[in-house]
C-alpha cells in the first residue's frame, strides 16, 4: 500500500473494482454502487480498515452509499443554506459561513479523504446539488475587513489536503491580521490519511506565534484509531498543535455503551481530547444514521460519567443556524429545597449538600 499521502489520493478507492480489493461486496452494495450518482470513496489506508465480510462494519457504512439515503423524512431541504446562514442580508463570499459574531467557518476546498455518508455538507460535497465558489483570496479579504472576527475555522472538504505552500499562504495571511487570535482546522486527515502529517506540513505548523493553531478531527468508532493515527497526532502535538475530536453520534455505529466508552477512552490513549459529540444533523438523506435527540446525553451518563476519567467526556450538541446548542439534560439534580440540593450520581445513588 502506498505510503505517500499524494499516492493515497491518486489511488483513491471510489469504484467497485477498487473496493473489491478490500471487501467482498454484497449484491445490494453492488447494485447501489452501479446506480449511485453521488461522490463517494476514501483512501486505501482507510478502506483497509473495513471488515471484508460484514456489511454492518462501522467503517464500511461511513464510506459506501446506501439505498437508505433515498429516504428523506426528516432531512431539511436546502439544509446547508439554512445552517450556514447563506440566505441572510449580510454580504459574504461563498467561502465564509457564520453563526457567531466573532468567529467564522472559512471553507477552502470541497475535496475530502473520505466522503462521509453522514456529512452535514452532503448537498455540497457528496450530492453536488449546491454549487459554491470557494475563492480563498475573497475569503481572506472579507476576514481582513471584519475586525470583529477573532477566530477562524478553516474547513472544507478537508483543508489538510491542500499543499504545504497553500497552507503556508493561508496561515501567514491570517496571522498578519491583528484581530485574528486563533486559527482552527476541521479535518479527518489524522484518521483517514495520517500520512499527510509530513515534515513539510510540520514545518508550516510548528513556528511559535501569538496566533495558535488548533485541529479538531472526526473519529466515530474505535476501529478508526490505529498506530498510524497515534503517530500522526504525536507529530502534530510536537508542533504545538492541540488535537480535539468531534464525533458524530451515528445509529448502529457508535450509539451503544460499550463502543461509545471504548471510542472515548481510546481517543485519550492516542492523545486526542474528546471535545464534542454531535447529534446527526437534519441534512437530507441521512435519516438512517440519526438517533433520538436524548441518546447522546444518555450515553455520556451511562458510558462515561463515573465510568472513566473526566478527560474522556465530550459535550453533546446539535449545530444549528444560531450556533451549537448543548443537548445535556440534567440527570444529576434529584431535588432541592430552600436549603439543600439532592444530587444523583451515575449509579443512581443520592446525596444531599
Task: Please report the pLDDT score of residue 341 as a whole number.
Answer: 86
DSSP state of 247: E
**pLDDT of res. 7:** 97
- Provide the grid cell at 203: 514545518
**Between 199-206 and 227-238, two packed helices, what is the crossing angle to 10 degrees?**
40
State the pLDDT at residue 1: 45
Of the candidates 166, 53, 193, the residue with the CA atom closest to the CA atom of residue 106:
166
Instruction: Determine the 3-state secondary structure of 183 from DSSP.
Output: strand
Exposed, middle or buried by CB within 10 Å (0-12, 13-18, 19+), for 173? middle
Report residues of the chain scoring pLDDT below 70: 1-2
- Rounded-to-integer distance, Cα 46 and Cα 29, Å: 18
User: CB count, 10 Å around CB of 176?
Assistant: 11
With 0.85 as the threshold, say if the pTM is over it: yes
Amino acid at each position: 500500500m502506498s505510503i505517500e499521502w499524494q499516492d493515497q489520493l491518486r489511488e483513491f478507492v471510489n469504484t467497485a473494482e477498487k473496493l473489491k480489493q478490500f471487501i467482498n461486496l454484497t449484491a445490494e452494495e453492488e447494485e447501489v454502487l452501479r446506480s449511485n450518482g453521488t461522490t463517494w470513496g476514501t483512501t486505501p489506508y482507510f478502506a483497509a480498515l473495513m471488515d471484508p465480510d460484514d456489511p454492518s462494519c462501522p467503517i464500511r457504512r461511513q464510506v459506501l452509499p446506501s439505498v437508505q439515503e433515498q429516504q428523506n423524512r426528516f432531512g431539511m431541504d436546502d439544509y446547508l443554506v439554512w445552517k450556514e446562514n447563506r440566505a441572510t442580508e449580510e454580504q459574504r463570499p461563498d467561502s465564509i459561513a457564520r453563526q457567531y459574531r466573532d468567529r467564522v467557518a472559512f471553507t477552502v476546498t470541497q475535496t475530502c479523504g473520505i466522503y462521509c455518508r453522514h456529512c452535514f455538507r452532503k448537498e455540497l460535497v457528496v450530492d453536488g446539488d449546491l454549487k459554491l465558489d470557494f475563492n480563498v483570496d475573497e475569503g481572506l479579504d472579507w476576514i481582513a475587513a471584519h475586525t470583529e472576527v477573532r477566530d477562524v475555522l478553516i474547513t472544507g472538504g478537508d483543508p489538510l489536503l491542500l499543499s504545504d505552500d497553500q497552507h503556508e499562504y493561508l496561515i501567514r495571511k491570517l496571522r498578519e491580521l491583528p484581530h485574528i487570535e486563533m486559527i482552527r482546522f476541521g479535518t479527518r486527515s489524522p484518521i483517514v490519511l495520517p500520512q499527510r502529517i509530513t515534515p513539510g506540513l510540520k514545518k508550516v505548523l510548528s513556528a511559535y506565534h501569538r496566533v495558535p493553531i488548533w485541529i479538531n478531527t472526526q473519529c466515530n468508532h474505535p476501529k478508526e484509531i490505529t498506530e498510524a493515527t497515534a503517530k500522526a497526532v504525536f507529530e502534530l502535538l510536537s508542533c504545538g498543535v492541540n488535537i480535539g475530536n468531534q464525533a458524530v453520534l451515528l445509529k448502529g455505529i457508535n450509539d451503544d455503551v460499550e463502543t461509545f466508552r471504548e471510542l472515548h477512552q481510546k481517543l485519550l490513549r492516542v492523545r486526542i481530547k474528546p471535545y464534542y459529540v454531535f447529534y446527526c444533523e437534519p441534512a437530507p438523506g441521512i435519516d438512517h444514521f440519526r438517533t433520538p435527540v436524548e441518546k447522546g446525553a444518555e450515553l455520556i451518563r451511562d458510558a462515561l460519567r463515573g465510568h472513566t476519567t473526566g478527560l474522556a467526556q465530550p459535550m453533546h450538541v446539535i449545530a444549528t443556524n444560531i450556533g451549537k446548542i448543548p443537548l445535556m439534560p440534567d440527570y444529576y439534580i434529584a431535588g432541592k429545597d430552600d436549603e439543600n440540593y439532592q444530587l444523583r450520581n451515575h449509579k443512581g445513588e443520592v446525596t444531599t449538600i
